[in-house]
Structure 1
Amino acid sequence: MTTPDDRPSTTPPGADAADHGSGNGDAGEESLFGPGSQFHGFFNDPRWALAVIRATVLEAAHPQVGAALIDNSTFVTHPWRRLRNTLTSLQRMFGADDHTRQREAARLNRMHARLHGTDPQDRPYDAMDPEVRAWVVATLFESTVTMCRLSGQPLEQKTMERLYAEFQAFQAALGDPAHHLPRTLDEFWPYYDRVVAEELENTEAMRIILYKLFDHLPAPPLLNGFPALWATGRAVAGPVVGAITVASLPEPFRRRAGLPEIAGVQTLMQGVYLAAGLTRFLPEGWIKADNILDLLTLSPDGDDPRARTVNALRDRMKRAGALIRLITPMPTEPEPAPADETRRGARTFFAEVLDQTGDGHLDWPDLAAMARELCSRLDLDEPEETRLYTAYADWWRELQSALDTDGDGRVSADEYAAAVPSLAGPALIRVAEVLFDVTDKDGNHTIDADEYRALFRTAFRRDTAGADGTYSRSAFINDFLSFMSGRRRTTPYDPLLADA
């Protein structure tokens, strides 16, 4: 629980989000979004990574959010993709361009409207519930305040008030009623304490984030070629991040949830926050969130010059390893049988591509996650987005009819592997056609270099562009079907749907 010393003693009136304008360019609005905002400065602050992790845990501890994450999210199997999409969305919402903010708010509302259901205790959840969305905003604000306090730089009263007003304006931009977040900063702290004390639970989603995600975090695309290096770093950093996140949570919730208190972790936590705070003295380009995330999510096969540098380093490391094996006596081992590296087995394809949520089964949330990723990359408007979701829904019905042999409403890995279907039925062909149509922004029946990059975030592959330098409809559909039915690697669709 945040102590009274961490909170402002007075809050002037006027913090209501409704008082900050609706995005039409008035002076109040300009002061809350864009480069002059408090959020803009924190976004590129390395300490904010710790704050976001903490906020995510507090969000997942809310039973409605936790249930929605377990049923629909790809945060376990595709955490880097999820992180990039989240940061991109926050940039759009807090940027200076009001049109971009309105489009993003509409997209988020359409996405949240599709996320509803019941948890294992038959309690309903709805991602459009304004009280739940207010809690998500509250965790981001409070975790940012806590981040500054733990790093020895507590926010001043006016700075905290301004930051709270920015997050209220963020909630207002989503179209939620203002009263779900307290109007003033003084009123916020009792609200926050009440939710922590009365509504948060030790949810499955929270436990996964704390005790599974960090310990089993897949390597980002850039480090896929260095499994030993990644595993070693993760083995050290994973438990540390989990421990300091637990230590930073409100003490009443830690006690009620039975979270462990490890001796010395409080000191370690403050040391990590202080060290992260010192990075503000590094050159600005080194700590810019966009640059760091772009580097981590680089595809080794991409056209980015940094990817070529990493590939060159990887080749040198492989040569060094081969030289060491050559001059070091090693016991003879039978050579593995040659395998076609361009193909993956049915179970591998199921786990890497089809099971987007990582629950071991294929059902509608997995295909919805594919549609959600494609819509986000292409920044689709409502009509195109609906067409793509509808095509995926039809494909799910086709898959369910063909593969769900036990009638439980989902497809298991065993059911899929036993059937090993071609998958290239009429519904999947329709998915490919709709995906081509929404990627072909100018409607000229070909995909040019810019449209290709919007979808795949890389330049044309050497074997993709035709003689006229474009990607034809037939070639696009054939490649998509080859990936989804033939389970072929080394296609542009692999980083699109399979990478972490």
Structure 2
Amino acid sequence: MTDTAEDRPESLFGRDSQFHRFFNDPRWALAMVRATVLEAAHPQVGAALMDNSTFVAHPWRRLHNTLISLQRMFGDDDQTRQREAARLNRLHARLHGSDARHRPYDAMDPHVRGWVVATLFESSVTMCRLSGQPLDQSTMERLYAEFKGFHAVLGDDGGQLPATLIEFWSYYDHMVEEELENTEALRIILYKLFDHLPAPPLLDGVPTIWAAGRTLAGPVIGTITVASLPEPFRRRAGLPEIPGAQTLMQGAYLATGLARFLPDNWIRTDSLTELLFRSPDGSDSSAGSRGFAGSGRGNLGDPQPVALTALRGRMKQAGALFRLVTSLPEQRGPAGASAPERSADEFFTAVLDQTGDGYLDWPDLAAMARELSSRLDLDEPEETKLYDAFAAWWRELQAALDIDGDGRVSKDEYAAAVPSLAGPALIRVAEVLFDATDKDGDEFIDADEYRALFRRAFGRTLPGADARYSRGAFVTEFLSFMSGRRRSTAYDPLFAGA
């Protein structure tokens, strides 16, 4: 019996997939938040998030990388999909440990990965139901087949997700009623993340407007998300039942669903992502990664930078007016953004503490290595070389700064030491990073190579008319930044940006 196009796994992906249609549906933003909460409620996922993820300190970076990964996995090109699956597997293989109750977690556990895929599927189905447009049976089965195909591409044997849609709902009910918990990661997402969400790069220069909007929107998003969760889990987790929350939640899904009638280019996820991740001067973006449409380079003749500059000017005026008529104090952007110096305390919080838990330990430096590997789209063995270099730097830092021997470095321990961290291990990190960035091996980093690493800051950071970095110049700037005191228009967006 010969297989047809419908039988082949490749037919589950690409532009004609149900997932691709949902990816550009505004309702999917609400569904993604809901799915993330359900993921975090799994004890293994919640523990992995708390120990390793940058979702607290750098939520926009996490969102951006997740969207790129999903688009690669569900795109048209099978080679891109296989490379992304391999990258995700390498990333997850590095995430293992134990939670506060000494229960082990492993991001490669196929049952855990099956639950993550299940939350994406179920939340997509739920968003349609809550917005008054429930999926018919055939569409639902098609969508389930696509997510099972996604799970299979990751290399799991497929037994973690039920074979049929009918069996899936029994599995889902069991997970909700028996396995999920009110984890710390879940509580942070619901009650802290949105209330303290930093501005995306585009709005970083208008913090008053952002703070006012966040103050209003944060509790509303949390309330909508809680109301959309399965009732058995809300009851078991002790999540509050707020009067009117169900009506608010259904209204939000219905209103968001109406946005799909806007012109396509207004609501495309890649366009919105490019907009949000443009730098404050509107001169560049980060959407040029493999998997996203458009170059995002801010070329001459591109009307977006001019329009964005005008928009930001209006927003600043609105912020000034808002401060005049309310008691809200002026909110400032990054302290002394134009000044080259920064305090040791600020450097620790903004750069070294990538996970936002108040300490420096291996997951923080691993997050740096992960972000650099993603920016440069590294394969093996370059990726492992970079991780190994950061691991050696962590051992050097731990030996020099961990005074009380608890296996991590506190802010006080860092501040009490001489913040000159440019030892042999950090120099090795700089050398390995240079080699990974210098794709053609000519011992210079040219404009395209530099863009791959510093895409949001590219427009203003290349010195000299030839736009080339020698090994020595690159290593010197990297060490100057990572030793803790010098600001950098290139490295700050890379490591300190939200």
- Taking structure 2 as the reference length, the TM-score comes to 0.90
Q: How does 1:390-405 map to 2 (within 5 A)?
A: 390-405=388-403
Q: How does 1:151-300 map to 2 (within 5 A)?
A: 151-300=131-280
- Cα 1:385/1:258, change in 2 over 3 Å: same
Kept after mapping to 2: 8 A contact 1:346/1:420: no
Paired residue type of 1:129: D
Paired residue type of 1:291: S
- Cα 1:365/1:51, change in 2 over 3 Å: same
Cα distance in 1 between the residues matched to 2:337 and 2:158: 59
**Deviation (angstroms), 1:313:** 4.8
SS at match of 1:180: coil
Paired residue type of 2:462: T
Structure 1 stretches of 4+ with a deviation exceeding 4 A read 311-326, 458-463
Residue in 2 that maps onto 1:464: 462
Residue in 2 that maps onto 1:409: 407
Q: Which runs of 5+ in 1 are unaligned?
A: 1-18, 327-337
Residue in 2 that maps onto 1:494: 492
Paired residue type of 1:166: E
2:342 to 341, 344, 348: 344
In the alignment, is residue 65 of structure 1 matched against residue 63 of structure 2? no
In the alignment, is residue 482 of structure 1 matched against residue 462 of structure 2? no
1:451-483 deviation per Cα after TM superposition (whole angstroms, max 9, x unaligned): 111111147455524443322211111111111
Kept after mapping to 1: 8 A contact 2:73/2:81: yes
Kept after mapping to 2: 8 A contact 1:466/1:472: no
Paired residue type of 1:497: F
Which segment is superposed worse, 363-372 or 340-349? 340-349
1:201-238 deviation per Cα after TM superposition (whole angstroms, max 9, x unaligned): 00000000000001111111111111110011001111
Cα distance in 2 between the residues matched to 1:162 and 1:463: 47
- Cα 1:426/1:165, change in 2 over 3 Å: same
SS at match of 1:356: coil
**Deviation (angstroms), 1:487:** 2.5
Residue in 2 that maps onto 1:7: none
- Cα 1:122/1:79, change in 2 over 3 Å: same
Kept after mapping to 1: 8 A contact 2:162/2:171: yes
Kept after mapping to 2: 8 A contact 1:447/1:470: yes
Cα distance in 1 between the residues matched to 2:10 and 2:87: 22
Cα distance in 1 between the residues matched to 2:337 and 2:179: 53
Kept after mapping to 2: 8 A contact 1:64/1:125: yes
Cα distance in 2 between the residues matched to 1:141 and 1:125: 23
Cα distance in 1 between the residues matched to 2:237 and 2:314: 49
SS at match of 2:105: strand
Residue in 1 that maps onto 2:23: 43
Paired residue type of 2:112: V
Kept after mapping to 1: 8 A contact 2:45/2:112: yes
SS at match of 1:406: coil
Residue in 1 that maps onto 2:105: 125
1:250-305 deviation per Cα after TM superposition (whole angstroms, max 9, x unaligned): 00000010000111110111110001110111000100111111111111254436
SS at match of 1:357: coil
**Deviation (angstroms), 1:324:** 12
Paired residue type of 1:399: L
Kept after mapping to 2: 8 A contact 1:214/1:234: yes
- Cα 1:190/1:421, change in 2 over 3 Å: same
Q: Which runs of 5+ in 2 are unaligned?
A: 285-297, 325-335
Kept after mapping to 1: 8 A contact 2:461/2:490: no
In the alignment, is residue 81 of structure 1 matched against residue 79 of structure 2? no
SS at match of 1:125: strand
Paired residue type of 1:97: D
SS at match of 2:54: coil
Q: How does 1:404-443 map to 2 (within 5 A)?
A: 404-443=402-441
**Deviation (angstroms), 1:307:** 4.6
- Cα 1:365/1:435, change in 2 over 3 Å: same
Residue in 2 that maps onto 1:444: 442
1:134 to 105, 114, 123: 114
SS at match of 2:55: coil
Cα distance in 1 between the residues matched to 2:3 and 2:373: 30
Please give the root-mean-square deviation of Cα atoms over the aligned residues, in Å: 2.3
In the alignment, is residue 116 of structure 1 matched against residue 70 of structure 2? no
Paired residue type of 1:131: H
Q: How does 1:313-392 map to 2 (within 5 A)?
A: 313-314=311-312, 341-392=339-390
Paired residue type of 2:428: R
- Cα 1:225/1:239, change in 2 over 3 Å: same
Which segment is superposed worse, 186-195 or 486-495? 486-495
Paired residue type of 1:60: A
- Cα 1:347/1:193, change in 2 over 3 Å: same
Kept after mapping to 1: 8 A contact 2:97/2:104: yes
- Cα 1:325/1:113, change in 2 over 3 Å: closer
Cα distance in 2 between the residues matched to 1:79 and 1:368: 16
- Cα 1:195/1:341, change in 2 over 3 Å: same
Cα distance in 2 between the residues matched to 1:325 and 1:81: 29
Residue in 1 that maps onto 2:328: none
Paired residue type of 1:454: A
Cα distance in 1 between the residues matched to 2:152 and 2:318: 57
The alignment-based identity, stated in percent, is 75
Kept after mapping to 2: 8 A contact 1:215/1:238: yes
- Cα 1:126/1:318, change in 2 over 3 Å: closer
Cα distance in 1 between the residues matched to 2:126 and 2:436: 43
